[in-house]
Amino acid sequence: MNGQLLAQSLVLGILTGGLYGLTSVGLSLIFGIMRIINIAHAALIVLGSYLALALFRSFGLDPLLSILLLIPFFLLLGGAIQWGILDKLSSKDLTLTVLATFGVAIIVEGLQGAIWSSTYVSIRTPYSLSSVQVAGLYIPVVRVMAGLASFVLLAAVFVLLYRTNLGRAIRATTQNRTAAQLVGVHAGFVTTVAFAAGLAMAGAAGPLLGMLYSFYPATHWLLIGKLLAIVVLGGLGSLTGTFAAALVLGVAEQVAGVTLPLEWGPMLFYVLLFGTLIVRPQGFFGAVRRGSL
Amino acid sequence: MTGAAALQRWWPWVPLLVLVLLPVGIRETFYLDLLMTTFMYAAITLGWDIMGGYAGYVSLGTVGFYGLGSYAGALLLLRFNIPVFVSAPFIGVLCSLVGAGLGWIALRTRAAAFVIVTLTFTSIVQLLALNLKGLTNGSSGLYMPLLTLPNNLILLPFYYYMLALLVFAYFVSRAIRGSKFGLGLIAIREEEEKAEGLGVDTSLYKILAFAISVFFACVAGALRAQYLNYVDPDIAFDLFITLSPIVMALVGGRGTLIGPLLGAFLVQPLSQYLVFLLPSSVAGQLHLVALGVVLLLVVLFMPDGIVNAYRSARAGGSGWRGRRQTAPPAEAAP
Amino acid sequence: MTRADGAAPALPAGTLEARDVYRSFGGVTALAGCSLRVEPGTITGLIGPNGSGKTTLFNCITGFYQVDQGQVTFGGVPIQGRRPNEIVHMGVVRTFQVTRIFRGMSVLENMIVPLRQQTLKTLFRPAIGGHEQERAEHLLEFFGIVQLRTHLAGSLSFGQQKLLELASALMVGPKLVMLDEPAGGLNPIMIERMAGYIHELNQQGTTFCIVEHNMDLVMQFCDPVFVLHRGQTIASGPPSIIREDPLVLDAYLGD
């Protein structure tokens, strides 16, 4: 591998890593505050892709702009799922919450198939095939856009979490629900907000992923595996850890893509997931916390 | 033995006898196929419930083992000329070993890791099936030679094999339920730390339970591949194989012996009927939606399933899951 | 993992010793070099103000927490780093502060779950029946709850549940039983009954280590008594001396 190729992989990897970060940080946030593994996370990302495609085809709305519509839609959807389903279940019983989110994933997948059929589609914009040249590297425009948009959205989420009172309340509830309630945090409301925010991140990532890769209703199974690998590697529930793991895996996938046949890419995630669980179940980047798994 | 006692003892054999004799009367492939598929799901569900119901650990990887079994059966036939009817039990044992390995990775910690590992396991096996083209022929799949039987009889060996698998699953589940091991699994479901504090090697129990529970999906996968004379990554990793047993166990009642049976014999015919009613272009998709909706409804409103709901209604108590003794109200503290 | 032969090796009479144990949780120090010694045949008391680290020490000894530093031995054999079930098989069993029983099982089934040793053969034997059931019913009889054996454990009264928890712990045939607040939440009559059982079992040779807030009970039954304060052992000795120790009075009345 020459220097040029390595530099190219690094840049692409960081851009993809940003996208992985956007999707997996939401998943990690939801696990952290609710102890729920949101199996439906990737299915909802794919739903975001389909909605952006529909908006693009019907109204010519640019996928990047559709994010602005998708965020409020997924906030509401998240609120509805939390209020209508998850809140009704005992959060202590991981069995039932997992089955519930599994059920949601199935329903979303089935509806997508019924409405948009089960064939591969992708979002092809006029600039889909153009590239930009930076320091001698050719980077496809859509990858730059997806990467930058992800970083901007992630930055917004981290500002929300670390610079606002609501964010403090979310982090406090994540650390210790009872203690947070004792100091006056409305844990139920905060939980709903966090879940909705996690889904909004998923929804926003939909158009971005849809611009990069083709998709069909069942692609979410491969994606949720990748995201869970990132989250476990980063330390379940640790947001900064998840973000770091997303960047590392983004780059690793690109580098592996140069050296390995393309179809083996996802295997990298699974090998790292299993390796992590064997060697260090609490993850590599997150704070070491008892019972995080 | 009095008549009533004899009835009590022998009644489970009556439906079995009926199922054994049915093919004599019914010749329509549609019904025999439906019954065979129901047997298959019932066996897989009984297996799933050893882990999901007794121990309370939900596996989302059933189809991974089913697919592994399908490919193992096909490859042993094509490469070594071993008939699937012979190899199937051994393939099941092999899968149990794989399950034990997977359990070793996932079950030393708590439930979240188990869910994640079982879910990704399916993707891993599917990826292997797709990418190891030299072995599996990739997405083109593998064709298996037909059994040399007259057309109208070709279903029968599969019918009886699946029925035998179901009966075996039933007795394994029953033996576990009544054993010290089964009691330990239920203890893990109810209070895992406490069980550990009473000397129960919880990791070993869970790994053993998972190894046993995946056996049935694996054998079923091998048989099914031969029945269809074909296996490819889409057929071998059909989402319904993971989804249906979960729905069946929940509808019938987790952690009971009868629940998974009842669930399978209820859900599978209804599923088939639904698919029959729907336009074929969207039948598969709406079937998914329907099962997803049922799953959500059961989780929300009847998480203990029909059998447990019936039992606690009859006992008038709050007991749940797999009670055999009825529980009279407590006496006042002395 | 279990021993292959299933037989317990002969242990020297079990002295439990925890020496200079440290344990912290994300920067909060729960145990800062605390020590405890339980001689065979005693009923050793462990007291201290709320948050002094008593339950954490219990968890460290019984394998539910790892110790950061220090040594825990039973009969001279190091036990830190071992799994809770292994420690049970070495002869140390514990109960929990908040009573934990298997609520969905019958009383008798609760008694059968505990394992003294396991081999694959015993695992797949029928759960109820034989010698083990006899032993279970014998113990239930001792605690006066044998008539409830087919009842759902969750339907028992609070006091009966506490008795059941102790009875099931005894099923593993322990040398040392560690009780986390055995009298907590019980009415005076039940407390007396519980104390009577513990005393009688002790007479029969079982060693006890007890965390308890009920001072009268501790001073009456326990000897020696260890006092924890802020994760450290600040005093130990017979109750008559502990009662007069100025450090102990400070710990309870001060701050």
Q: Which chains touch A (3 or more CB pairs under 8 A)?
A: B, C
Task: Please state the rounded mean pLDDT for residues A57-82.
Answer: 94
Task: Give B334's contacts in chain C (Cβ within 8 Å).
Answer: 144
CB contact under 8 A, A263 and B131: yes
Distance to chain A for C135, nearest Cα, Å: 34
Interface test with B, best of A27, A36, A46, A102 (most B CBs within 10 A): A102
pLDDT, tens digit, for every residue of A71-102? Answer: 999 999 999 999 999 988 865 678 899 999 99
Q: Do A218 and B122 form a contact (C-beta atoms < 8 A)?
A: no
Residues B57/B206, Cβ–Cβ less than 8 Å:
yes
Higher model confidence: residue C119 or residue A189? A189
User: Please, which pLDDT band fits residue B327 given cuts at 50, 70 and 90?
Assistant: very low
pLDDT digits (tens, 9 = 90+) for B222-258: 999 999 999 999 999 999 999 999 999 999 999 999 9
Q: Is C44 on the interface with B (CB under 8 A)?
A: no
Cβ-based interface (< 8 Å): residues of B facing C: 175-176, 178-184, 186-187, 190-191, 193-204, 317-323, 325, 327-334
The Cα B200–Cα B187 span in angstroms is: 9
- Of B105, B289, B292, which is closest to A274 when you measure between CB atoms? B105
Contact B331 C148 (CB under 8 A): yes
Task: State whether residue C98 is helix, strand or coil.
Answer: coil
Residues B60, B225, B146, CA angle at the centre, nearest 5°?
175
pLDDT (tens digit, 9 = 90+) per residue, A257-267? 877 777 788 88
Q: Which residues of C touch A290 (CB under 8 A)?
A: 25
Nearest residue of chain B to residue A118 (CA atoms): B285
In angstroms, the separation between the Cα of residue A47 and the nearest Cα of chain C is 39
Nearest residue to C202 (alpha-carbon basis) of C91, C40, C73: C40
Best of A83, A86, A95, A120 to disrupt the B interface (most B CBs within 10 Å) is A95
- Tell me: the pLDDT tens digits for A197-238? 999 999 999 999 999 999 999 999 999 999 999 999 988 878
pLDDT, position A285: 63
Mean pLDDT for chain B overall: 88
| Chain A interface disruption, residue of B296, B302, B308, B320, most A CBs within 10 A | B296
Q: Is the pLDDT of residue A288 over 60?
A: no
For the whole model, what pTM was predicted? 0.90
**Token pair in block for residue C175:** 């040398």
What is the secondary structure of chain A as a DSSP string? --HHHHHHHHHHHHHHHHHHHHHHHHHHHHHHHH----TTHHHHHHHHHHHHHHHHHHH---HHHHHHHHHHHHHHHHHHHHHHTGGGS-TT-HHHHHHHHHHHHHHHHHHHHHHH-SS-B----TTTT-EEEETTEEEEHHHHHHHHHHHHHHHHHHHHHHHSHHHHHHHHHHH-HHHHHHTT--HHHHHHHHHHHHHHHHHHHHHHHHHHS-B-GGGHHHHHHHHHHHHHHH-TT-HHHHHHHHHHHHHHHHHHHHHS-GGGHHHHHHHHHHHHHHH-TT-SSSPP-TT--
* Residues whose CB falls within 8 Å of the CB of residue B41, separated by 6 or more in sequence, listed in order: B244, B245, B248, B264, B267, B268
Distance from the B274 Cα atom to the nearest Cα atom in chain C, whole angstroms: 37
Which residues sit opposite C147 in a β-bridge? none
Give the residue from C242, C192, C187 showing the smallest Cα distance to C46.
C242
CA B135 to CA B124: how far, in whole Å?
16
Q: How many CB pairs under 8 A join A and B?
A: 131
pLDDT at residue number A293: 37
CB contact under 8 A, C112 and B180: yes
Amino acid letter, A190: V
CA distance C100 to chain A (A): 16
B186 contacts C106? CB cut-off 8 A = no
Using the Cβ of C25 and the Cβ atoms of chain A, whether some distance falls under 8 Å is answered with yes
- Whether A104 sits inside 8 A of B292 (CB atoms) is yes
Beta-carbon separation of B288 and A291 below 8 A: no
Is the CB of B293 inside 8 Å of chain A's CB atoms?
yes
Task: Give the list of residues 6+ apart from residue B321 with CB closer than 8 angstroms, or none.
Answer: B53, B186, B253, B254, B255, B256, B304, B308, C104
CA dist., res. A262 & res. A246, Å (int): 19
The minimum CA-CA distance between A289 and chain C, rounded to whole Å, is: 7
| A and C: number of Cβ contacts within 8 A | 3
- CA dist B209 and B203 (Å) reads 10
Put simply, the answer to whether C25 touches A287 (Cβ < 8 Å) is no
CA angle C163, C169, C173 (to 5 degrees): 130
Confidence band (pLDDT; 50, 70, 90) for B308? confident
Higher pLDDT, A132 or B80: B80
Taking the C-alpha atoms of residue A106 and residue B270, their distance in angstroms, rounded to an integer, is 18
Instruction: Encode pLDDT of B33-42 as tens digits.
Output: 999 999 999 9
**Nearest chain C CA: its distance from B202 CA (Å):** 8
Alpha-carbon distances of A175 from A32, A93, A289, B25, rounded to whole Å:
8, 19, 10, 64
Cβ distance B241 to B62 under 8 Å? Answer: yes
pLDDT of B325 strictly over 70: no
Q: Are C74 and C121 in contact (CB under 8 A)?
A: no
Which range is least confidently modeled, A149-163, B47-61, B134-148, B309-323?
B309-323
Q: Which parts of C9-79 are beta strand (E)?
A: 16-25, 28-38, 43-47, 69-74, 77-78
Chain A residues whose beta carbon lies within 8 Å of the beta carbon of residue B122: 221
The reply to whether residue B196 touches residue C84, judged by beta carbons under 8 angstroms, is yes
Low-confidence ranges of chain C (pLDDT < 70): 1-13, 117-120, 253-255
> Rounded distance, CA C225 to CA C214, Å?
13
Q: What is the pLDDT of residue B15?
A: 83
Rounded-to-integer distance, Cα C231 and Cα C217, Å: 23
pLDDT score at C197: 94
B-interface mutation test, from C82, C143, C151, most B Cβ less than 10 A away: C151
Q: A42-46, A110-114, B4-8: which has the minimum mean pLDDT? A: B4-8
pLDDT for B322 beyond 60: no
Question: Which residues have a Cβ under 8 Å from the Cβ of A126 and sit 6 or more positions away?
Answer: none
Distances in Å between the alpha carbon of C130 and those of A132, B320, C119, C152? 79, 27, 17, 21
Residues B198, C124: C-beta atoms closer than 8 Å: no
CA-nearest residue to A112 within chain B is B285
Q: Residues near C131 by Cβ (< 8 Å), separated by ≥ 6?
A: none
Contacts C101 to B, Cβ<8 Å: 191, 194
**DSSP result, A72-111:** HHHHHHHHHHHHHTGGGS-TT-HHHHHHHHHHHHHHHHHH
- Nearest 10 degrees: Cα torsion A77, A82, A85, A90: 170
A287 touches chain C (CB under 8 A): yes
Q: Do C151 and B317 touch (CB under 8 A)?
A: no
Residues of C in contact with A289 (CB under 8 A): 26
- B51 pLDDT band, cuts 50/70/90, is very high
Contact C15, C74 (CB under 8 A): yes
Asked if C89's CB is within 8 angstroms of B178's CB, the reply is: no
Spatial separation of the C-alpha atoms in residues C13 and B85, rounded to whole Å: 58
E strand residue ranges, C102-194 = 176-180
Q: Which residue is closest to B188 within chain C, CA to CA?
A: C102
Chains in contact with B via at least 3 Cβ–Cβ pairs below 8 Å: A, C
What does the pLDDT read at residue A283?
Answer: 67
The residues with which C179 forms a beta bridge, in sequence order, are: C210
In angstroms, rounded to a whole number, what is the distance separating the alpha carbons of residues B138 and B128? 9
| Torsion angle in degrees (nearest 10) through CA of A31, A34, A39, A44 | -100
- Residue C53 carries which side chain, given as an amino acid letter? G
Contact with chain B for residue C172, Cβ under 8 A:
yes
Stretch among A128-142, A263-277, B32-46, B318-332 having the lowest mean pLDDT: B318-332
Q: Is the peptide bond before C224 cis (omega within 30 degrees of 0)?
A: yes
What is the rounded distance in angstroms from the CA atom of residue A186 to the CA atom of residue B274?
Answer: 44
* Secondary structure class of C16 (helix, strand, coil): strand
Return the pLDDT at A270.
92
Q: B109, B186, B194: best mutation site toward chain C, by most C Cβ within 10 Å?
A: B194
In whole angstroms, what separates CA B278 from the centre of its chain?
26
Instruction: Report the mean per-residue pLDDT for chain A.
Output: 88
Residue position matching structure tokens 């339970």: B209
Chain C nearest CA to A182, separation (Å): 18
